[in-house]
A and B are shown apart, each in its own frame.
Chain A
């Protein structure tokens, strides 16, 4: 299921502003890769280029290639909608659909893509909620609105919603930054479980979190505001946090800047 991502010579723009410059990297399947770096270094932008969400923003434009196994996501004729079905995403702030119940939220992706069989939908909902470690907490109130859950539960609901469509890659854009430590722990445990099935890429501002959950870490930096962000180095998480090659990485993880 899980797929490898190969990014090559990637530039990302907002209108005329270049936000990410010349990034090449490989993300291994069935692993967790963390993107770290100071604000504005382009890590979220890069993440959004991996499922063609970057171009949803007016003026958003990408050069270079992103290959999922051997398919270039930016080749002509590739449908961005199909890409997003394969590469799912969880956002910074939990965003359940307010008009839908918990079950309907999880089923939303399947139902909006045409699945009608009620029994099958119910099974998928249960499996996804179990997969997101939320089933026990919500199984008695599946028909209640998703907005009634706590922040951490809502975020796990969003993860359940994302994995219900059975993507092969799961992108997470600072999924815990709006959550308390206990909810954060629940999500981190979940991420560790998810990597047995999916390729997970997570953007985080929290370096302990990157150290705890990821196998590989990529450090991004920018020379000045208004300049594009670049990939400084990418290595095994343990190596990045104990013995990074680049001076800037060491300065950043030891808290000397950023």
Chain B
């Protein structure tokens, strides 16, 4: 006789869970009160975080949103536009930000991923601890210090001009530790059983890492890279120090000025004339949108990569 049959066969009243006298008793009043208190505090903390975020988004989008709806914004630069004239676009700055972000990632990601592989797969003893410690220090470096360091090397020591590539080098310093840490976490999540399974098939260690470990962690690594990229694309200090603004389209990383969204914002931020003020808000909204898209892409890749199981 199954449990179900027994239940239907018996004529017992349904048991009242936690009824008085059942032996379980009530939840005490003070515990209920503390539970309620903790709930309120948590929601309050959440609200404290959300209010400024919503506020920023609202003010940026309400003031700069309509600039984004103008197709000129996405096709024109600011060439020949003064602070009195309406029109022009941000394509020069968007291009600059994307190019610098891309080049930064191309330099930083291989270094960061290989560092993470060393730390997780090979690192033992003193050298590994030293590398890990260095990454920690690098994480804490303020962006203006990274920028001044590159300035000292690139401009003062080598005597080169302030160009887009120098900006990329400074951003690279800021991106590497972020990607090392996220990649490290992803590699640690790959079960050791998979490595052992590959070794037991007579696969050498380097091939196990390249063909088993990295593909298994791939979506997580990409998510980390995109989040790191989103982080550095909004950086401003290196741009102010190493990458002066221009109103023209300029894509040469090694010569001349190179405009970006943060420097475009900085350029006009003291203006009082409406057309220039609108452009500042428009550039801010564009930057937020770009970083938001990168974040969403990162999350999507992470989500779908994991769902494959």
Residues of A at the B interface (CB closer than 8 Å) are: 51, 53, 56, 58, 81-86, 88-89, 91, 93, 95, 97-99, 108-109, 112-113, 145, 147-148, 158, 161-162, 165
Contact = CB atoms under 8 A, between A and B. Distances in A.
B197 A158 contact: yes
B124 interface: yes
Given A109-B202, A113-B202, A145-B309, A56 B196 contact: yes
Nearest to A95: B193
Given A97-B216, A99-B216, A145-B308, A112 B193 contact: no
Contact of A91 (B124, B196, B204, B207): B196
Given A112-B207, A112-B211, 20 more contacts: A56-B195, A56-B196, A84-B199, A84-B201, A86-B202, A88-B201, A91-B193, A91-B196, A91-B200, A93-B193, A97-B216, A98-B308, A99-B215, A99-B308, A108-B203, A109-B203, A112-B201, A113-B201, A145-B308, A162-B200
Contacts of B200: 51, 53, 84, 88-89, 91, 162
B197 to A, nearest CB: 5
B216 A112 contact: no
B140 interface: no
Contact of A161 (B191, B195, B201, B216): B201
B201 A85 contact: yes
A169 to B, nearest CB: 12
Contacts of A85: 201-202
Interface in B179-229: 191, 193-204, 207-208, 211-212, 215-216, 218
Interface string B289-309: 000000000000000000011
B212 A97 contact: yes
A247 to B, nearest CB: 36
Contacts, number: 77
Helix, strand, loop or mixed for chain B's interface?
Answer: helix
A81 B196 contact: no
A207 B196 CA distance: 27
22 contacts: A51-B200, A53-B199, A58-B124, A84-B201, A84-B202, A85-B201, A86-B202, A88-B201, A91-B197, A95-B194, A97-B194, A97-B216, A98-B194, A99-B218, A108-B198, A108-B201, A109-B203, A112-B208, A112-B212, A113-B201, A161-B197, A165-B202
A214 B12 CA distance: 54
Interface residues of B, number: 23
Contacts of A161: 197, 201
Nearest to A171: B200
Contacts of A95: 191, 193-194, 196-197
A98 to B, nearest CB: 6
Given A58-B124, A82-B202, A97 B196 contact: no
A148 B308 CA distance: 10
Contacts of A158: 197
A165 B194 contact: no
